[in-house]
């Protein structure tokens, strides 16, 4: 199989380490095109001049480090996966880098993880790009709809403002109602059958003169053959030459309603794409924060309990490294289905990032939240994964949960639950931790 091309920006101060990384990339099936930089200015220049698939960044260099590189990416709004590749870094520091924006970290002493990590990062970037494209399609469809609305054909009647006599009619209205031009022209508007419900007599017409504006939405007009057509009817008085006329715009709502239904269905699909994680079919982290904001506001307004549950699949990276990302993706997909099966009607589950998941439990105390966590762990205990024929692997999850405090800042609430979850991991994994 032909090696996959890969444009790599290396932020690395050691030429020897650069050669090690290139060797690891080639061993993993990539044909890398690399450029090495080791300063802020050089990184910015490389980003401006070329396009890159991935950034491999040493954590600490003279005068430059990985957090600074991540900050530069954010500052210039470039969405390129960055992986920290370093010789010395603590787990806490690595996790902080990933929370700040790095996709992963790889130790130089274990470069066998580098290519699988790159593969996962590129796949996640592709999914994110699909979501972005879906959002752009949604915006484009809205713009197209507005243009369609503004340029849609209308039936037009022109009336003499003093007498109410029809002086002109356009072909669209003739076709819509089935009357000939001769049946319109020189008739008082209240004499023509379709408009008797709108302007039934001269007195109503005089009222229109005084108001100078009338609007009816979803008004039924009867055609010459007895059919009813729902229309939007708008009339205005305006000056034409040395006299005033009344212009009546009649818009057939039939096609507009059909177009609106089609647009709403299209918008629903595009919007769903933008908030659903493609792999697990759970909501994504962006929608999580939007929904959590709604739930915290509701909790404050009605003084209802709200519990947040955050979980991490234990030793997932080890599973991925052993069996490959295809089986790793299967674990994430099946875990998403498992979570959906445990939810109540009011609950909602999200892929928070990587192998982390979260569940919002409205109107739920911490005691009931613990019951939910126990249900998830019980279901997971019975769930066997078979990455190799004849071999069953059972996964576990570390779960942290806490109840929302009145008027607590939303992100502080999430950080609090996150710390509790990491306590569960540090105390041996496969357990549920909550605040007393």
Check: pTM over 0.75? Answer yes or no: no
39-70 pLDDT per residue, tens = 999 999 999 999 999 999 998 888 899 999 99
Q: Are residues 242 and 101 in the same domain?
A: no
- The reply to whether 129 falls in a domain is no
Rounded Cα distance, 242 and 239, in Å = 7
Q: Are residues 429 and 309 in the same domain?
A: yes
Q: Are residues 55 and 8 in the same domain?
A: yes
- The reply to whether 132 falls in a domain is no
368-397 pLDDT per residue, tens = 999 999 999 999 999 999 888 888 999 999
Q: Are residues 367 and 429 in the same domain?
A: yes
- The reply to whether 190 falls in a domain is yes
Q: Are residues 368 and 422 in the same domain?
A: yes
Q: Are residues 72 and 201 in the same domain?
A: no
Q: How many domains does the chain have?
A: 3
Print the domain residue range for 334: 276-434
Which portions of the chain are predicted below pLDDT 50? 1, 145-146, 148-152
Q: Are residues 283 and 430 in the same domain?
A: yes
218 and 195 Cβ atoms separated by less than 8 Å: no
- The reply to whether 336 falls in a domain is yes
Rounded Cα distance, 403 and 361, in Å = 9
114 and 24 Cβ atoms separated by less than 8 Å: yes
Q: Are residues 288 and 425 in the same domain?
A: yes
**Which residue, 202, 222, 257, sits at the end of a domain?**
257
- The reply to whether 267 falls in a domain is no
Rounded Cα distance, 402 and 424, in Å = 13
- Looking at residue 184, which CATH number applies to its domain? 3.30.450.20
- Looking at residue 55, which CATH number applies to its domain? 3.40.50.2300
- The reply to whether 394 falls in a domain is yes
Share of the chain above pLDDT 70, in %: 96
Rounded Cα distance, 150 and 167, in Å = 25
Q: Are residues 280 and 409 in the same domain?
A: yes
- Show the DSSP H helices in 212-315 as ranges: 253-275, 285-302
- The reply to whether 134 falls in a domain is no
CA dist list (Å): 338 to 213, 342, 381: 59, 7, 11
Q: Are residues 313 and 381 in the same domain?
A: yes
Q: Using CB atoms within 10 A of its CB, is residue 144 exposed (0-12), middle (13-18) or buried (19+)?
A: exposed
**Which residue, 201, 225, 257, sits at the end of a domain?**
257
- What's residue 298's pLDDT? 95
**DSSP labels, 86-150:** ESS--HHHHHHHHHHT-SEEEEGGGGGGHHHHHHHHHHHHHHHHHHHHHHHHHHHHHHHHHHHHH
165 and 159 Cβ atoms separated by less than 8 Å: yes
- Reference 303, options 403, 376, 232; nearest CA is 403
Torsions phi, psi for 396 (to 5 deg): -125, 170
**Which residue, 257, 290, 323, sits at the end of a domain?**
257
Q: Are residues 369 and 328 in the same domain?
A: yes
Q: Are residues 384 and 310 in the same domain?
A: yes
- The reply to whether 268 falls in a domain is no
- Looking at residue 361, which CATH number applies to its domain? 3.30.70.270
């Amino acid at each position: 199989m032909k090696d996959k091309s890969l444009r790599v920006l290396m932020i690395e101060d050691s030429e020897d380490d650069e050669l090690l990384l290139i060797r690891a990339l080639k061993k993993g099936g990539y044909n890398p095109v690399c450029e090495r930089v080791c300063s802020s200015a050089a990184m910015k220049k490389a980003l401006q001049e070329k396009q890159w698939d991935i950034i491999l960044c040493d954590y600490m260099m003279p005068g430059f480090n990985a957090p600074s590189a991540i900050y530069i990416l954010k500052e210039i709004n470039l969405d390129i996966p960055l992986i920290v590749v370093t010789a010395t870094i603590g787990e806490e520091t690595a996790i902080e880098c990933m929370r700040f924006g790095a996709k992963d970290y790889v130790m130089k002493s274990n470069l066998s993880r580098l290519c699988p990590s790159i593969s996962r990062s590129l796949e996640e970037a592709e999914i994110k790009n699909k979501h972005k494209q879906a959002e752009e399609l949604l915006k484009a469809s809205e713009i197209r709809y507005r243009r369609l609305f503004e340029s849609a054909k209308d039936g037009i009647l022109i009336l003499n403002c003093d007498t109410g006599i029809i002086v002109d009619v356009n072909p669209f209205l003739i076709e819509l109602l089935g009357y000939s031009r001769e049946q319109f022209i020189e008739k008082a508007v209240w004499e023509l059958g379709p408009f008797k419900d709108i302007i039934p007599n001269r007195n109503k017409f005089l009222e229109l003169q005084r108001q100078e504006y009338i609007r009816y939405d979803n008004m039924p007009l009867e055609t010459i053959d007895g059919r009813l057509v729902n229309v939007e009817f708008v009339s205005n008085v305006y000056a034409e030459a040395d006299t005033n006329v009344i212009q009546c715009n009649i818009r057939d709502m039939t096609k507009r309603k059909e177009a609106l239904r089609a647009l709403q269905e299209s918008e629903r699909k595009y919007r769903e794409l933008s908030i659903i994680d493609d792999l697990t079919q759970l909501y994504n982290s962006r929608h999580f924060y939007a929904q959590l904001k709604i739930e915290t506001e509701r909790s404050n307004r009605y003084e209802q309990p709200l519990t947040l549950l955050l979980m991490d699949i234990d030793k997932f990276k080890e599973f991925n490294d052993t069996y490959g990302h295809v089986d790793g993706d299967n674990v994430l997909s099946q875990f998403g289905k498992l979570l959906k099966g445990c939810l109540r009607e009011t609950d909602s589950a999200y892929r928070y990032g990587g192998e982390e998941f979260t569940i919002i439990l409205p109107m739920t105390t911490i005691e009931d939240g613990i019951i939910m966590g126990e249900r998830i762990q019980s279901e997971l205990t019975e769930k066997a994964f078979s990455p190799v024929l004849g071999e069953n692997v059972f996964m576990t999850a570390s779960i942290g949960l806490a109840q929302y405090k009145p008027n607590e800042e939303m992100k502080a609430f999430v950080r609090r639950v996150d710390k509790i979850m990491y306590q569960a991991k540090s105390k041996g994994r496969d357990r549920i931790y909550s605040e007393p």
